[in-house]
Structure 1
Amino acid sequence: MTTRLAITFLILLYHGSTYAGSTQTKHTRFDASTTALFAKDVEKYAAKNGARSFIIARRGQPKKKLPAGFQFTHTAIAVYSQIQLDSGESVKGYAIHNLYQEQTDANKSLLVTDYPVDFFWGADSLTAGIAIPTIELQTRLIAAIQSGVNKSLHNPHYSLIANPFNNAYQNCTEHTLNVINAALYQTDNMARLKANAKAYFQATPVRVSRIKLALGNWFADGVTTKDHDNIIQTASFTSIAQYLQEFGLLKSAVIFEHKKDAVPLFN
């Protein structure tokens, strides 16, 4: 294999096996009715368990291709809301507040509010991560989003493996963590949020070879290690749920699969 082909192969492997799946997409692996049914089942589960707001995750790549410690590729915050349909009718349902990687510029992100069917449209499997905070934190998350804190905390400079302990870059999980901490500490002061994250949050190490990380850093858009020191680590759905659990802020966390019973995230 030539050097150029080897580099291309490793870049594609890096993108395909690590975090791809945090973009908004119009493509789906499943028929529309199946995706809609699954999305509705997720909503019903959340509502049945008293979730006015919760942390939601999807898997945009096959699980076997994800690095150790990562079960999902995209994480966001769902809020029970009054939703205006295209017909003009208003209904109640969950609005999902996302940070998505831009499809036309992998180095940038944008904030998008969509709904469960949209959220799972690009999923590789009909599997959801659902972390329901305590009632008090749910109320604070709703207030934070209603006041636009998620917008004030948005840094559009995107990296797939953003370091959650500084604000040089962001990915979807770091942005979610920022909003959670803003709700907890009642501030959008980024310096304070990062200091508290460093003191109390345990990030997930990115166990990918340094060759792949270096190649991604040098050749691939949307990937950089410039914001990291010796340890490459980022936020994940699981590490956010663990953080909430550790400090008594988690009501429940499950992996929810199509046509299966919900399985606790922590045994």
Structure 2
Amino acid sequence: MFKLTRIKSLALGLIVSLSIGNCWAGSASPTDNQHDVEVLKSFAKNVEQYAAKQGARAFIIGRIGRPESQLPDGVTFTHAAIAIYSEIQLDNGDKAQGYAVHNLYQKEGDKSRSELVTDYPIDFFWGVHQLKAGIIIPKPELQQRLIATIARGDNVKVHNPQYSVMANPFNDQYQNCTEHTLDVINASIYQTTDKAKLKANAKAYFQPQRIKTSPIALMFGSAFMKDLTMKDHSGKIYTATFTSIARYLNNNNLISEAVLLNENGIANPLL
């Protein structure tokens, strides 16, 4: 009885901690925000201004949506997306220049499915536990390719709506937000939306993050979570993370800068 209770406890802990891909759409109520709204707005604006000062037309953005103590070892960010400098229509109908964030989010009514949603930095950071942002600025040529890829709708072509928190980045059975971000990056690098080619190149050059946890806890966790499955894995569990994407771009000389920006506007190296 004790052993079974212990396993269930591990599984329930896993359900909390494995929210690494739990990417919710921008329909949160004001009670979901854990920070003063003006402070949150200021932080989101600081992120935009930092990226703009670096001349970023496109960058990869990450957030910390859960307490860091609940995250698996080696995982820092809970969500990743691509921000593109764009013309934005404001609520009053006016137009302004700013960053539009292109996300993969889980559907509210069915977490085992995902959809592509474009929002803005204030929406992106709504509900985060910590006012910290991950910012990966690719080399200018890759920035231009990312802009063109999204403008063509190739991000839609590489989207797989079958969602799993622990999606294996080396096959196309399931996808989470970080794997989608990686797929869009590789679609830009290799100029293809052929999923077989994208996965072959990922397997050849991308090193994912090993997720170390009990197989029994994973088994019980998958029984409770519609958005957690191990069907696309054999053996050890690996998935794409924000930091593993930064390492991938850095190792291939495709990155200009990768930083963690805190609420005081101080940027520290990510790698």
- TM-score normalised per structure 1: 0.95
Counterpart residue number, 2:132: 127
Counterpart residue number, 1:22: 23
1:13 aligns with 2:44: no
Aligned counterpart in structure 2 of residue 115 of structure 1, from 111, 114, 120: 120
Superposition map of 1:231-246 within 5 A: 231-246=236-251
| CA displacement 1:88-140 (0-9 Å, x = unmatched) | 10100000000011221111111100000000002111011000000000000
Separation of aligned partners in 2, 1:62 and 1:48: 29
Aligned counterpart in structure 1 of residue 51 of structure 2, from 28, 46, 52: 46
Counterpart residue number, 2:198: 193
Separation of aligned partners in 2, 1:222 and 1:46: 33
| CA displacement 1:31-87 (0-9 Å, x = unmatched) | 111110000000000000111000000001111221111100000000000001121
Check whether the contact 1:98–1:111 (CA below 8 A) recurs between aligned residues.
yes
Separation of aligned partners in 2, 1:10 and 1:104: 26
Separation of aligned partners in 2, 1:176 and 1:68: 21
1:172 aligns with 2:172: no
SS state of the match for residue 91, structure 1? strand
SS state of the match for residue 121, structure 1? coil
Superposition map of 1:65-104 within 5 A: 65-104=70-109
Superposition map of 1:256-267 within 5 A: 256-266=261-271
Separation of aligned partners in 2, 1:102 and 1:3: 35
Count of residue pairs brought into register by the alignment: 266
Check whether the contact 2:8–2:220 (CA below 8 A) recurs between aligned residues.
no
Structure 1 residue 11 displacement after superposition: 3.7
Separation of aligned partners in 2, 1:253 and 1:74: 16
One-letter amino acid of the structure 1 residue matched with residue 18 of structure 2:
T
Which 5+ residue runs of structure 1 have no aligned equivalent?
A: none
Check whether the contact 2:103–2:177 (CA below 8 A) recurs between aligned residues.
yes
Structure 1 residue 9 displacement after superposition: 3.9
Separation of aligned partners in 2, 1:38 and 1:11: 35
1:226 aligns with 2:227: no
Check whether the contact 1:133–1:249 (CA below 8 A) recurs between aligned residues.
yes
Check whether the contact 1:24–1:122 (CA below 8 A) recurs between aligned residues.
no
Separation of aligned partners in 2, 1:178 and 1:215: 29
Aligned counterpart in structure 1 of residue 39 of structure 2, from 31, 34, 40: 34
Root-mean-square deviation (CA, aligned residues, Å) is: 1.6
Structure 1 residue 10 displacement after superposition: 3.6
